[in-house]
A = this chain, B = another copy of it.
Amino acid sequence: MLTSALREMEKGNSIFEREIRKFQAPVCRIFLDDQGRIAPVVFTSTGQVLSAGNSAAARQEFSRIANAGGSRLLQARGVNPAPPSGKKVAVLFSGGPAAGGHNVIAGLKTALGKKNTLLGVRGGPAGLLAGSLFKITDKDIKRILNTGGFDFLGSDRTKIKTPEQFAQVKKVCVRYKLDALVIIGGDDSNTNAALLAEYLFAGVKKDGSGIQVIGVPKTIDGDLQAGRLLPISFGFDTATKIYAELVGNILQDTPSSRKYWHFIKLMGRAASHVALEVALQTRPAVTLISEEIAEKKIPLHKIVKSIADTVVRRYRKGLRYGVVIIPEGLIEFIPDITSLLKTLNELTAKYAPELNGLALDKRPEFAARKLSGSKALLFRSLPGYIQEMLLLDRDSHGNLQVSQVPTERLLIDMVAAHLKKNVPDVQFSPNSHFFGYEGRCGAPSLFDAAFTFNLGLTAGSLVLANHTGYMAAFTDLQKGGRVLAIPLTGLLNIERRHGREEMVIAKALVKTNSRAFKFLASRRRDWAGSDLFTSPGPRQLWGPAARQTPISVALNQGYANLNFEL
């Protein structure tokens, strides 16, 4: 009966979930042995030394892993003729979820094979510190294959930084007799992986040897990239395909109902990669790219005026609707806003007792009087709820949680005010949206399913080939794929964070001289003036529309088309 069939579908057994579990993601040919079975590979140095600004300092701070690999890029040479057995490897997720994480584990387990053991760490770095590990079985893998989310292990955002934490990790490694740790995470987590690789390099086990640490590049934000070596991090494609479908649906709605402007904020923290990719997929009237705004020093009132001008231009052509795409991190890139925020940080610290003594809605006037010139003008031009927000409590570093600012509402209100003042005859019916959590845990696109399974095979191969301090990488997806290992020391850089210098992997921002940005810039005036949008539709796992590389990746990598060939 239908009701019992529906009962059986509970707990991750929808029709879709059942079918995708039967699905073998495409694998790079180098992972196939003579008999066509998937097998781990060995690596050879390409001789290419990677450096990222301050590599000398990095090689000094990470001297043990740097000396071992010479910060040289590795590339897969062929199937491992005699993979070791008896290795114990633990894998963990770190940071926000991204589609394909489960396939990394599936690839890892496949590479390790039956003669080695894979343990899962529950609940991310905090779970590692707590020693919450368990053995991952083949049955587990069958259940999680091609599914979205990080729920199999769970994740968290704990940073392993203090000497006590490092010592604790070592203790857990010894307790579980681990030989290697695989850390699936973003830029910060891979920085952590480098620190752990260095710390655990030697002297951990009884025979004096160490614990290998391998990173796997994850983040939907797309800000962990390494040029031709790593075109993108995993999860970006699925997230942007989900957002692009929604934006495309809304775009299709605009000339259907003919009355709304939709302001859509997209997740992606600082970098605008997500906004750029979704814009390339959908061709909306307006796309804001934070990096361009910072570079060209465009003040807030000009952004508002530019959107309003587009609203008017379209309105006069009978197009009383449109879509504006806004990157999540925008507000921190608008020059006059960042300068105002800095002053407000000082001001709220200086006048904390006075401000706290005032009702919320009285604080803006108090603050406005303490500001002068253009800052006072800018502050007074903001809607009241934004003024109040900007005067709220700071975090422990004295900074405002700007991610909380509803930029999409701010822009709507300011554009509406601008239109009312300057072109009162123009009707403007706005709607706001924020797409974020919807895109992190969707079932992976075919691109991400393949990308992550191959990354997992790469990470497993690196472990079996006794490497440490590397990040698994996979590139050239348009021509069969190329398996690489990037030395983490080659990505590290000195940055000022929280008031002190730290060795970190720099976030990759959108470059205004990149092919992807330049293509947007070359087309956006036409997209603003008429309806040239596309609706990319729901991502397909089967059929003729399933194989699609992200457009920004294909452009920046110089691919000839959007098809990937594995």
Contact = CB atoms under 8 A, between A and B. Distances in A.
Interface stretch (A10-18, A165-173, A201-209, A326-334): A10-18
Interface string A511-542: 00000000100010001000111111111111
A19 B147 contact: no
Contact of A551 (B6, B542, B546): B6
Contact of A532 (B11, B15, B96): B11
Contacts of A246: 242, 246, 438
Interface in A241-270: 242, 245-246, 248-250, 252-258, 260, 262
A249 B442 contact: yes
Nearest to A560: B2
A396 B366 CA distance: 41
Interface stretch (A148-156, A223-231, A449-457): A148-156
Given A256-B151, A258-B156, A442 B14 contact: no
Nearest to A543: B542
A119 interface: no
Given A256-B154, A442-B245, A544-B19, A5 B561 contact: yes
Interface centre among A431, A438, A519, A555 (most CB of B within 10 A): A438
A499 B189 CA distance: 64
Interface in A134-188: 147-151, 154-156
A248 B13 CA distance: 12
Nearest to A519: B3
Nearest to A280: B6
A14 B532 contact: no
Contacts of A10: 283, 523, 527, 532-534
A562 B538 CA distance: 20
A535 B258 CA distance: 33
Contacts of A13: 534
Contacts of A280: 6
B534 A12 contact: yes
A147 B539 CA distance: 15
A322 to B, nearest CB: 13
A509 interface: no
B535 A14 contact: yes
Contacts of A531: 11
B15 A545 contact: yes
Nearest to A153: B256
Contacts of A245: 442, 538
A437 B250 contact: yes
A443 B535 contact: yes
A315 interface: no
A444 to B, nearest CB: 10
Interface string A10-54: 111111110110000000000000000000000000000000000
Contact of A438 (B16, B250, B442, B534): B250
A368 B260 CA distance: 36
B541 A540 contact: yes
Given A2-B560, A156-B258, A16 B540 contact: yes
23 contacts: A2-B554, A2-B555, A2-B561, A6-B555, A9-B534, A10-B533, A11-B533, A15-B545, A15-B548, A17-B534, A19-B545, A148-B249, A150-B257, A151-B256, A154-B255, A242-B246, A242-B249, A249-B437, A252-B442, A443-B538, A537-B541, A540-B540, A541-B543
Interface of A: 1-3, 5-7, 9-17, 19-20, 93, 96-97, 123, 147-151, 154-156, 242, 245-246, 248-250, 252-258, 260, 262, 280-281, 283, 431, 433, 437-443, 519, 523, 527, 531-546, 548, 551, 554-555, 559-562
